[in-house]
């Protein structure tokens, strides 16, 4: 809004710019909002920044809206234009937040555009690890964020249930099954899956079938072992995710893509376009035509498909299903895969800017200051489920969302546990619970805030004005987070807001001291402060909901 005013003012000087920088100054005395446009313009206009700033201020002051919003506009330093908000404007916004929160919280960026967020998509061959947890936290938060910003979002999990990996799981379970009966006829494959869960599945099968499958060849019983195992695994994955408050709208099976002929269809499509050729007994996709560094095999010389074959088809189909934009969340170790997938959709005539791949970097663990070695082969690793048992889902989720996805995350288990009393997530939740508790007290005393004529201008303490400013900033933070696809901005905002509430709570009383005489004056102040608290609660609740962290009524 303010940006538009500035742009208009700039235009009145006869220059056009694409956007005006608007910032929140860090220091007191520099206003509530500021812009450095005068400085960036000085080169173009060949005029001193201060002169430009003066001209802009003049233009701005001539608008009536400016007069109602701002106390004053001043020029400071080399040419910063600083805006000081009128407190009446603050009260007006606060009133809107309190009385019409939907309207206040509404941010319309998506206009119903269809977006798919595909995330986790872990192979159903083992439990979810911490990297998956990070991806899950990000994906779910991003989906919440975009939904709240007006996009039609679908969350999808892609199941790699075809191919070598699930078959290898089946073989590993087959081997474990033999061991249960002290048979060594079927040793564990070289690169097989170890770990307790393989045994657990084997026992399941042994319960159903007894030893009747012992003297069979794997090829005869592969369906039993492979299918049962990965489905069981998938169930566990779903349970873990659900314990982590992560749900999906759709689970897309890779097998289904093969069985329904979708994969074949996509390959035919690309063949017609001339991007498929045969060489050395294999079938290749001409990825180099679209910027990838080499062409890629999609059908191996032994006739089997590569993972990439179904992936091509999967991604092409996403866009055929009508999504305007698709967001994939991948582990950073897959980054080399991006050019070929983008190449595939480009070959199908889809603008590749409609596919966004967000990479989450690796998660490493620290216990007692020492890195925890994780070896999948030896079956030694801390799973997402272990982590939740150890530090709780909320804490895990909050910590994942307190880091930028593209920085490596070092998870110090001792710190996360030892900190548990002073954990950032509790700090925010505590603010929420505290406010709730105030309202319980207020109810006991029969204090109402529903009457319409509450005088918000009683909120005139510096702390109160600061909190109101922070509150009315939320839609902007939210919008920027959605635009940048960075939920972690919400996390930081919530910590800052809570960091304003707790000191305020400590310094001032919301309710008057019990036993003192209640006058009209004290009652009105109490009511005004209750409205402030209610508004803080609303914003914390909205923010935590985006993050997928619970907002406890009591702690």
Partner RNA sequence: GCGCCUGUAGCUCAGUAGGAUAGAGCAAUUGCCUUCUAAGCAAUGGGCCAGGGGUUCGAAUCCCUUCAGGCGCACCA
**Binding residues for RNA restricted to 489-518, rule: CB under 7 A:** 489, 492, 495, 499, 502-503, 505-511, 513-514
The H-or-E segment that residue 121 falls in is: none
Residue 349: burial class (beta carbons within 10 Å; 0-12, 13-18, 19+): exposed
Alpha helices in 210-306 (DSSP H): 218-222, 228-243, 254-259, 262-272
- Residue 117 φ then ψ, to 5°: -115, 115
User: Is residue 178 near RNA by the rule CB under 7 A?
Assistant: no
Report strand pairing: 114-118 vs 325-331.
Answer: parallel
Report the relative pairing of strands 80-85 and 33-35 from DSSP bridges: antiparallel
Binding to RNA (CB under 7 A): which residues in 137-176? Answer: 160, 163-165
The interface with RNA within residues 366-385 (CB under 7 A) comprises: none
By CB atoms closer than 10 A (0-12, 13-18, 19+), residue 422 is exposed
Q: At what angle do helices 307-320 and 262-272 cross, to 10 degrees?
A: 80
Residues 436-455 binding RNA (CB under 7 A) are 436-438, 440-441
The token pair that represents 198 in the structure block:
């393989």
**Is residue 109 at the binding interface for RNA, with CB under 7 A as the rule?**
no
What is the H or E stretch that residue 476 is in? helix 462-484
Binding mask 275-304 for RNA (x = CB under 7 A): ----xxxx----------x--xx--xxx--
Nearest distance in Å: CB 206, RNA: 27
Nearer CB in complex with RNA: 213/360 = 360
Interface residue with RNA, options 1, 14, 43, 453 (CB under 7 A): 43
Q: Quick one: which segment of 146-154, 201-209, 228-236, 429-437 binds RNA (CB under 7 A)? A: 429-437
Q: Stretches 93-101, 210-218, 267-275, 434-442: which one binds RNA (CB under 7 A)?
A: 434-442
Residue with tokens 């939320």: 474
Choose the binding region for RNA from 9-17, 20-28, 228-236, 464-472 (rule: CB under 7 A).
20-28
Q: Give yes or no for a contact between 459 and 535, defined as CB atoms under 8 angstroms apart.
A: no
Q: Does 253 bind RNA (CB under 7 A)?
A: no
| Per CB under 7 A, 419 contacts RNA | yes
Smaller CB distance to RNA: residue 36 or 110?
36
Q: Is 222 in the site for RNA (CB under 7 A)?
A: no
The Cα–Cα gap between 35 and 181 comes to 76
The correct pick among 150, 265, 379, 424 for binding RNA (CB under 7 A) is 424
Between CA 166 and CA 71 the distance in angstroms is: 67
Q: According to CB under 7 A, which one of 402, 449, 466, 550 is a site residue for RNA?
A: 402
Q: How many CB atoms lie within 10 A of CB 107?
A: 20
* CB-facing half-sphere around the CA of 241: CA atoms within 13 A: 28
Interface with RNA (CB under 7 A), residue from 259, 406, 518, 521: 406
Q: Which is nearer to RNA, 167 or 385 (CB)?
A: 167
Applying the rule CB under 7 A, the residues between 460 and 489 that interact with RNA are: 480, 484, 486, 488-489
Which of 207, 206, 219, 220 lies closest to 178 in space, CA to CA? 206
Stretch that binds RNA, among 27-35, 132-140, 374-382, 453-461 (CB under 7 A): 27-35
Using CB under 7 A, which of the segments 128-136, 242-250, 330-338, 541-549 binds RNA?
330-338
């Amino acid at each position: 809004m303010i940006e538009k005013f500035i742009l208009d003012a700039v235009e009145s000087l006869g220059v056009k710019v694409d956007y005006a920088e608007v910032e929140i100054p860090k220091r007191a005395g520099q206003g509530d909002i500021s812009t450095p446009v005068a400085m960036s313009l000085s080169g173009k206009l060949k005029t001193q920044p201060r002169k430009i700033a003066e001209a802009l201020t003049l233009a701005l002051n001539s608008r009536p809206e400016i007069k109602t919003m701002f106390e004053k506009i001043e020029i400071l330093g080399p040419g910063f234009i600083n805006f000081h908000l009128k407190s009446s404007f603050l009260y007006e916004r606060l009133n809107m937040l309190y009385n019409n929160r939907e309207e206040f919280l509404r941010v319309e960026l998506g206009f119903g555009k269809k977006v798919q967020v595909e995330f986790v998509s872990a192979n159903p061959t083992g439990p979810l690890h911490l990297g998956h947890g990070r991806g899950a936290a990000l994906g779910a938060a991003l989906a919440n964020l975009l939904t709240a910003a007006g996009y039609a979002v679908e969350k999808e999990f892609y199941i790699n249930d075809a191919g070598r990996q699930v078959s290898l799981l089946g073989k590993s379970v087959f081997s474990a099954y033999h061991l249960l009966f002290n048979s060594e006829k079927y040793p564990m494959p070289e690169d097989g899956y170890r770990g307790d869960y393989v045994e657990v599945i084997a026992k399941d099968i042994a319960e159903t079938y007894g030893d009747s499958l012992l003297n069979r060849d794997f090829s005869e019983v592969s369906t039993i072992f492979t299918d049962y195992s990965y489905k069981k695994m998938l169930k566990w994955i779903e349970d873990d995710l659900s314990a982590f408050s992560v749900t999906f709208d759709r689970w897309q099976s890779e097998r289904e893509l093969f069985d329904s002929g979708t994969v074949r269809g996509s390959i035919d499509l690309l063949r017609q376009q001339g991007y498929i050729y045969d060489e050395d007994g294999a079938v290749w996709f001409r990825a180099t035509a679209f910027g990838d560094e080499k062409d890629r095999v999609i059908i191996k010389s032994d006739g089997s498909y590569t993972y990439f074959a179904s992936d091509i088809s999967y991604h092409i189909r996403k866009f055929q299903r009508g999504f305007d934009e698709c967001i994939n969340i991948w582990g950073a170790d897959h980054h080399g895969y991006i050019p070929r997938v983008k190449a595939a959709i480009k070959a199908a005539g889809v603008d590749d800017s409609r596919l966004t791949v967000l990479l989450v970097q690796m998660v490493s663990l620290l216990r007692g200051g020492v890195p925890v070695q994780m070896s999948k082969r030896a079956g030694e690793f801390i799973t997402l489920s272990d982590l939740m048992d150890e530090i709780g889902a909320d804490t895990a989720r909050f910590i994942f969302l307190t880091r930028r996805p593209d920085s490596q995350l070092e998870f110090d288990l001792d710190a996360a546990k030892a900190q548990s009393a002073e954990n950032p997530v509790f700090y925010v939740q505590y603010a929420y619970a505290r406010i709730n508790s105030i309202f319980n007290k207020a109810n006991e005393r029969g204090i109402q805030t529903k009457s319409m004529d509450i005088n918000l201008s009683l909120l005139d303490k510096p702390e109160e004005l600061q909190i109101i400013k922070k509150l009315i900033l939320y839609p902007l933070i939210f919008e920027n987070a959605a635009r940048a696809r960075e939920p972690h901005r919400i996390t930081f905002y919530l910590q800052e807001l809570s960091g304003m509430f707790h000191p305020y709570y400590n310094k001032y009383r919301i309710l008057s001291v019990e036993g003192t005489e209640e006058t009209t004056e004290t009652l009105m102040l109490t009511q005004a402060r209750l409205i402030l608290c209610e508004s803080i609660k609303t914003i914390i609740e909205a923010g935590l909901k985006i993050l997928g962290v619970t907002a406890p009524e009591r702690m």
